């Protein structure tokens, strides 16, 4: 058996069961270098456009391109500027122009090689070009592997807030190369880990307990990392299967995100001050503390969530954001732009304890404002 099939055979597979829109998530090391034969097998006759950013291209574009070439697959590449600023109408238009200039047809595929920014942007492009093209997610960050690459949420940001323009468009395949995570800066790996911990805090206390014991092995790589990514992907795949377009239980995946997105908006999506996973970490701690304030959750459970995230090296308070986060009124204005606001009513994911998150509709804004005023 050649090296590429051996790598693919060793990968763990998680199925996202959505009927005709279903797809597999392959998880393991070496999947980028072995992508060509897998793509050729699954999508015979297709051509490709690889979309990536300058940073990721320096690490992973050459091995991916070589694998496609060795498998006899035709491709072009589009390289964008790294960072949240690329989730914009301008870059969206540039990528569309690159795809059309490459003369890709509706039956061809885009490859999103990168983190959540690239995946969200490319998924949106694929969702609208030629009224819908197929695409493959090749997430290269931990955050993207366990969250944004799975589930079909795509989009870009506007001056009004994050991810406010986009479509639901499922990928045709996800290749989560856990070896690629070795190229991440420690800060970025920690930020992605916040989304891993989230799955335990939502409804899997046993997984959260496992993470408390094994998180250092997840950081080191090897079987524990694959297990953490696979467990996270299974959790998300299950929720997506029962609520693909977030009309009900899928909203639980937003634990920490209402507060977190507001913090990101206040900081102008400045990744030097705050990256998404750090915002989610603070947001999850705020969600637990607010649940304590509402007499829903015990202080001990809130302290446990905070202690684990703090042990990882993640921020757990708005006071830790460089440059501050403005006033409570500033944060409330950002919260009211959140997609989960319905007819002016606030929706939060709150909790009754570790692994006991639930959707709370119609949370009183004045109570939230008073709570935030204390936190900042």
Average the pLDDT over 156-170 and give the result.
90
Q: Which of 7, 87, 234, 261 is the catalytic position?
A: 261
Q: Which of 169, 225, 257, 308 is the catalytic position?
A: 257
CA nearest neighbour of 115 among 140, 90, 132 = 140
> How many Cβ atoms sit within 10 Å of the Cβ of residue 1?
8
Q: Which of 246, 264, 306, 340 is the catalytic position?
A: 246
The per-residue pLDDT for 90 is 97
Q: Which of 103, 131, 159, 343 is the catalytic position?
A: 131
The per-residue pLDDT for 156 is 95
342 is in an annotated binding site: no
Q: 16 has which bridge partners?
A: 23
* DSSP-derived 3-state class of residue 274: coil
- What are the residues whose beta carbons fall under 8 Å from the beta carbon of 350, sequence distance 6 or more? 287, 290, 291, 294, 296, 297, 357, 358, 360, 363
Diameter of the chain by CA atoms?
Answer: 64
**pLDDT for residue 187 is more than 60:** yes
Tally the C-alpha atoms within 13 A of residue 192's C-alpha that lie toward its C-beta. Answer: 27
The per-residue pLDDT for 248 is 85
Q: Examine the residue annotation and report whether 153 is marked as an active-site residue of this protein.
A: yes
Q: What is the pLDDT of residues 4-53, one digit of tens each?
A: 554 555 689 999 999 999 999 999 999 999 999 999 999 999 999 999 99
Band of residue 1 on the pLDDT scale cut at 50, 70, 90:
very low
**Which residue, chain included where needed, has tokens 């690459």?**
149
141 is in an annotated binding site: yes
87 is in an annotated binding site: no
Q: Examine the residue annotation and report whether 276 is marked as an active-site residue of this protein.
A: yes
Q: Which tokens go with 41?
A: 């097998």
Q: Which residue has the higher pLDDT, 136 or 344?
A: 136
CA nearest neighbour of 111 among 24, 167, 172, 42 = 172
Q: Which tokens go with 355?
A: 């692994």
Q: Which of 134, 169, 236, 306 is the catalytic position?
A: 236
What is the set of domains in the chain, with CATH numbers?
3-184 (3.40.50.1970), 189-375 (1.20.1090.10)
**pLDDT for residue 304 is more than 70:** yes
276 is in an annotated binding site: yes
183 is in an annotated binding site: no
238 is in an annotated binding site: no
Q: What are phi and psi of 56, to 5 degrees?
A: -65, -40
Q: Examine the residue annotation and report whether 261 is marked as an active-site residue of this protein.
A: yes
Distance CA 279, CA 318 (A): 9
What CA–CA distances, in Å, run from 41 to 68, 71, 362?
A: 12, 10, 49
Q: What are phi and psi of 202, to 5 degrees?
A: -70, -60
Q: Examine the residue annotation and report whether 245 is marked as an active-site residue of this protein.
A: no
Q: Which of 7, 134, 169, 250 is the catalytic position?
A: 250
153 is in an annotated binding site: yes
119 is in an annotated binding site: yes
Alpha helices in the chain (DSSP H): 3-10, 35-42, 54-56, 62-70, 89-101, 116-128, 142-143, 186-203, 205-220, 223-242, 257-266, 276-293, 299-312, 328-335, 365-375
Instruction: Look up the pTM and report it.
Output: 0.91
The per-residue pLDDT for 345 is 72
Q: What is the pLDDT of residues 57-104, one digit of tens each?
A: 999 999 999 999 999 999 999 999 998 899 999 999 999 999 999 999
Average the pLDDT over 304-308 and give the result.
98
Q: What are phi and psi of 219, to 5 degrees?
A: -65, -35
**Which residue, chain included where needed, has tokens 């050729």?**
40
In this structure, the chain runs to a length of 376
């Amino acid at each position: 058996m050649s090296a590429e099939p051996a790598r693919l055979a060793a990968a763990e597979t998680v199925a996202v069961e959505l009927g005709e829109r279903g797809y597999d998530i392959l998880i393991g090391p070496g999947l980028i270098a072995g992508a060509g034969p897998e793509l050729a097998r699954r999508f015979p006759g297709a051509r490709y456009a690889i979309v990536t950013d300058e940073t990721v291209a320096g690490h992973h574009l050459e091995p991916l391109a070589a694998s496609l070439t060795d498998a006899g697959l035709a491709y072009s590449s589009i390289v964008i500027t790294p960072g949240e600023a690329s989730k914009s109408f301008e870059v969206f238009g540039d990528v569309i122009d690159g795809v059309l200039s490459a003369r890709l047809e509706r039956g061809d595929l885009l490859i999103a090689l990168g983190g959540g920014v690239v995946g969200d942007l490319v998924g949106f492009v694929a969702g609208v070009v030629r009224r819908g093209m197929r695409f493959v997610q090749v997430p290269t960050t931990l955050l993207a592997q366990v969250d944004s690459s799975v589930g079909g949420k795509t989009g870009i940001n506007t001056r009004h807030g994050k991810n406010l323009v986009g479509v639901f468009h499922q990928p045709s395949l996800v290749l989560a190369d856990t070896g690629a995570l070795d190229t991440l800066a420690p800060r970025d790996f920690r930020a992605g880990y916040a989304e891993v911990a989230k799955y335990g805090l939502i409804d899997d206390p046993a997984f959260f307990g496992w993470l408390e014991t094994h998180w250092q092995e997840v950081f080191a790589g090897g079987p524990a990392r694959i297990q953490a990514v696979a467990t996270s992907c299974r959790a998300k795949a299950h929720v997506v299967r029962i609520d693909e377009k977030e009309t009900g239980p899928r909203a639980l995946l937003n634990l920490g995100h209402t507060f977190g997105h507001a913090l990101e908006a206040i900081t102008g999506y400045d990744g030097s001050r705050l990256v998404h996973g750090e915002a989610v970490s603070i947001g999850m701690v705020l969600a637990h503390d607010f649940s304590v304030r509402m007499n829903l959750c015990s202080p001990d459970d809130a302290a446990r969530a905070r202690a684990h995230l703090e042990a990882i090296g993640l921020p757990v308070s708005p006071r830790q954001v460089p440059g501050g986060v403005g006033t409570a009124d500033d944060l409330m204005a950002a919260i009211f732009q959140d997609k989960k606001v319905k007819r002016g009513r606030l929706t939060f994911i709150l909790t009754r304890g570790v692994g006991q998150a639930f959707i709370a509709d119609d949370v009183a804004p004045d109570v939230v404002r008073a709570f935030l005023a204390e936190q900042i």
